[in-house]
């Protein structure tokens, strides 16, 4: 067999050589050279999540050999000042100094443009910067990361096109855009934003990020379901009584009062994170592990959820807003006393829903979703409750025979636990529920990589599996819009209706008397 010159493979957007030494070498390396442009690089998200993720990718040697990073934001920085800013941000998050030799090498690849998103000439400066880096190969592949408030997304997209930085203007490499959530603030604004985006980028160039999907356990939901045979036969209405999905936080709105007061729990968490978790639990096995095969199945789940009629909204949803209370031993102010929150705000800081998926597998099984701030415990999980035993054979009369429960824990400790009943040792037939627990930290002896690290790497690789497709975003808005409309039009006069540090509003227990305690 003749020794080959490298073969080519590609997705129509970029062509890469097949390296004969890569086969069987398990690395996470991104092989395409590329430059990431972070719009909003002086903001909180970049500082807390994105630049630490970039450094961590460098530390693990996952970044491509030719890599560039350009910060693009309003704050005035020179390149050196921005590098210092990045270094401090990384060290603050790590709690220790960076590895100097590696940082110095990475820092050489970082630059900054002080920019106004309204100013066309600043985008032309960006174009020149990218073109000057083409020689190394990095500048021809471009990842535009919108770490800015959603209100400026359309402006940036339009400016990219005007400056010739759109994919059509870059025939030598790929151009992708990463859009932070929320994608729109309601169905109409999401459609308007999509209309702007699709003037410039086609769907497989748009990476809508939902950082929940980058968490290890979220990805493990599919492994649990489709890499095992024991769960699939019972994964349906025949055995499952109900599904609870919880995303509870102890934090309040912190410094995000202005944003949150216009968003609320339904927009901020349920419409994206929580519905995405629901889709992973409920979807049919995809035909393959390809991004589109998976995203097709997720979309089918959303299609099978009937949005509520306005008259049913109050019977299938509960909203809440926290008053003052005690969280973690500390006094916590009421939501309406938080900075940048209106004193008469009607924004919900807690939302709970009961949804039904109208398909063959899930008909009749309630899916209970809840998310809230200033709750008793920080906890995100999916709990699948199985039907009670049909006939009691064991156990003393006083013994509670609990339902089997499968819990996928997303945070703070990522893992899976299964609850089942066992005989208590002794002469009597006492039965007690025990839990078999798998914890990622101890099970594999490794700490899961932060979600942003994974998602940033995937967007550079061109793997869209963990990003949300437009049809799913649109459908998720369609599901929550009737609730948003009713909640917006009818003020809740009971607000605040739960104390900070509590389990949430009492009304939630009417929606579901069996919420797992926080």
Q: What share of the chain is helix, strand, coil (3-state, %, to 5)?
A: 35, 20, 40
DSSP track, 493-509 = TT-S-EETTBS--THHH
What is the nearest approach in angstroms of other proteins to the Cβ of residue 338? 35
Distance of CA 406 to the CA centre of its chain: 22
Contact present, 146 and 176 (Cβ < 8 Å): no
3-state secondary structure 11-68: CCCCEEEECCCCCCCCCCCCCCCEEEEEECCCCHHHHHHHHHHHHHHHHCCCCCCCEE
The token duo for 438 is 């798998």
269, 371 contact by CB (below 8 A): yes
CB of 136 to other proteins, least distance (A): 8
Residue 25: CB minimum distance to other proteins, A: 5
Distance between CA atoms of residues 397 and 399, nearest Å: 5
CB of 12 to other proteins, least distance (A): 18
Q: How far is the CB of 53 from other proteins (least distance, A)?
A: 17
User: Which of these is catalytic: 273, 356, 391, 430?
Assistant: 273
Residue listed under structure tokens 């270094």: 87
3-state secondary structure of 356: strand
Query: The tokens of 280 are what?
Result: 């992973």
**Whether residue 122 lies in the annotated active site:** no
The CB-of-19 to other proteins minimum distance in angstroms stands at: 5
Q: What strand order describes the sheet that includes 67-73?
A: 110-114, 67-73, 34-39, 142-146, 175-179, 206-208
Of 517, 504, 302, 281, the residue nearest 408 (C-alpha): 281
Contact residues for other proteins, defined by CB under 8 A: 1-3, 5-6, 16-17, 19-27, 29, 31, 59-61, 65, 99, 101-102, 105, 422, 425, 434-437, 439, 442-445
Distance from C-alpha of 354 to C-alpha of 424, rounded to nearest angstrom: 36
- Which residues are marked as active site? 273
């Amino acid at each position: 067999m003749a020794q080959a010159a490298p073969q080519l493979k590609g997705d129509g957007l970029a062509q890469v050589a097949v390296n004969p030494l890569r086969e069987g070498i398990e690395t996470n390396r991104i092989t395409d050279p590329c430059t990431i442009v972070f719009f909003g690089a002086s903001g909180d998200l970049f500082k807390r999540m994105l630049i630490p993720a970039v450094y961590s990718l460098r530390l693990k040697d996952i970044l491509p050999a030719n890599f560039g990073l350009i910060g693009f934001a309003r704050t005035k920085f020179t390149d050196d000042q921005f590098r210092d800013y990045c270094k401090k941000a990384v060290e603050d998050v790590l709690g220790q100094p960076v590895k100097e030799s590696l940082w110095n090498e990475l820092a050489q690849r970082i630059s900054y443009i002080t920019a106004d998103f309204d100013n066309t000439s600043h985008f032309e400066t960006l174009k020149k910067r990218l073109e000057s880096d083409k020689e190394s190969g990095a500048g021809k592949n471009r990842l535009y990361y919108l770490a800015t408030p959603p209100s400026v997304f359309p402006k940036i997209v339009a400016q990219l096109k005007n400056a010739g930085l759109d994919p059509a203007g870059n025939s030598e490499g790929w151009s992708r855009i990463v859009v932070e959530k929320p994608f729109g603030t309601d169905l109409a604004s999401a459609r308007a934003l999509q209309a702007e985006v699709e003037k410039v980028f086609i769907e497989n160039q748009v990476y809508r990020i939902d950082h929940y999907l980058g968490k290890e356990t979220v990805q493990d939901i599919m492994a649990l379901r489709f890499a095992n045979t024991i769960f699939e036969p019972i994964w349906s209405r025949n055995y499952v009584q109900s599904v609870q999905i919880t995303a509870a936080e102890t934090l309040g709105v912190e410094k995000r009062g202005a944003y949150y007061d216009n968003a609320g729990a339904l927009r901020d968490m349920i419409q994206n994170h929580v519905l995405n978790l629901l889709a992973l639990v409920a979807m049919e096995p995809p035909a393959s592990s390809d991004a589109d095969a998976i995203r097709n199945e997720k979309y089918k789940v959303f299609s099978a959820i009937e949005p509520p009629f306005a008259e049913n909204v109050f019977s299938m949803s509960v909203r809440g807003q926290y008053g003052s209370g005690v969280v973690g031993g500390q006094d916590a102010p009421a939501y309406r006393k938080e900075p940048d929150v209106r004193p008469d705000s009607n924004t919900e800081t807690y939302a709970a829903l009961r949804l039904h998926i109208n398909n063959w597998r899930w008909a009749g099984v309630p899916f209970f979703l809840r998310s809230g701030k200033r709750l008793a415990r920080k906890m995100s999980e999916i709990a699948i409750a199985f039907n009670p035993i049909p006939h009691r054979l064991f156990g003393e009369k006083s013994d509670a025979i609990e339902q089997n429960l499968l819990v996928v824990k997303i945070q703070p400790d990522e893992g899976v636990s299964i609850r089942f009943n066992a005989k208590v040792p002794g002469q009597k037939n006492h039965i007690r529920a025990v839990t078999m627990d798998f914890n990622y930290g101890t099970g594999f002896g490794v700490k899961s990589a932060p979600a942003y690290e994974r998602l940033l790497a995937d967007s550079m690789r061109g793997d869209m599996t963990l990003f949300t497709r437009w049809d799913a975003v649109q459908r998720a808005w369609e599901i929550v819009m009737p609730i948003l409309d009713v909640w917006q039009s009818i003020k809740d006069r009971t607000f605040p209706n739960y104390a900070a540090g509590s389990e949430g509003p009492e009304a939630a227990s009417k929606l579901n008397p069996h919420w797992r305690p926080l």
